[in-house]
Amino acid sequence: MFSPRPVPTAMTVSATMLVLLLSGCSDAGDGGGGGGKEPAAEAVRIQLESKDLVFPLAAYLPTPQQHAVLDVAQDVLIDQCMKRYGLRYDQRRKADPAATSDGALRYGVSSEADATRYGYANPRLVKDKPAQPPMGPNERLILAGPEADMSKPGPKSQEEAEKSAEGTSTVAGQTVPAGGCLGESARKLHTPTDDTVDNMAVQGFGLDSFARSREDSRIRAVLGQWSARMAKQGHKVDDPVKAPSQLGLKPADLNGPRAIAAAQQDVACKKETNLVGVWFSVETAYQKRVIEQNAEMLDLAKKQHEERMRLAATLTGSGA
């Protein structure tokens, strides 16, 4: 059945370097994670790769291993929903105990090994996707629900969905839930009640902290140093995240010979400037500020996440 889906060893740097890199203004806070002043950062450490970095907001979000268990739990809920219509969901996933985060390219390529093997391609995407078997119209309707009316917002929680009894189509005399079994399973697991803190809101704090860190004077300074070193290698780039496009690389060329050579030089320039270490330190400061300003909401999110994992353990028998 079709299944649409949606730190290495460290050491401190010199006192002079710390003064230059961490001389941000004191935290003023604006209640939303920002403010005109730059938050003070802790001591910069030498960080060569980004894939194993752990940020403060991670305490409020599922780990990669927990994500894997939640995926399985949602599949169980999809199957339970499909059974109501005399169908089964046979694309159940298996939790990967070795699941890792997708932070390898957070600040652009930073791993010498990945640069040599993948160039600028995302290591997690260099794999073949299995073909999905076709579905009949009723099966598709039950799984994904009727075509959504984009002018009308769908239910934000399972509690809301049950109150509104939204659903414009029926199969075997039963109303198809909003968003089909995919939508229902997601709501039951991730947003069961109206007071649920959506993980997207917590992730939004992370995205906002990352965006603010990009504009921080300390990051602009280290980016300038990295860019200058890249220029000496013949590469005109000023943004490590956008380096592939700035180098004129097409998607099909991201792990080609030219991309690999440039990515290796990119990693060397990051190492020379300690770009990853500086950026991690500054971004961490922004995350800590947003946590302080949204402590009540985030505490609730953490409690609800623990409840979600208990439900997932019940559904999967994983003991997670």
Which phi-psi region, left, alpha or beta, contains residue 172 (left: φ > 0; alpha: ψ -120 to 50)?
Answer: left
- For residues 292 and 300, the answer to whether their CB atoms sit within 8 Å is no
Distances (CA, A) of 14 to 43, 61, 224: 10, 34, 20
Helices (H), 36-169: 64-83, 112-118, 137-144, 158-164
β-bridge mates for residue 108, sequence order: 106
pLDDT at residue 150 in the model: 63
In this prediction, residues 68-81 reach a mean pLDDT of 95
pLDDT at residue 13 in the model: 35
Would you tell me how many other CB atoms lie within 10 Å of the CB of residue 63?
14
The predicted model scores a pTM of 0.78
pLDDT per residue as tens digits for the range 3-30:
443 333 333 333 333 333 444 433 434 4
pLDDT at residue 149 in the model: 61
Average pLDDT, the chain: 84
When pLDDT is cut at 50, 70 and 90, the band that residue 100 belongs to is confident
In this prediction, residues 126-146 reach a mean pLDDT of 73
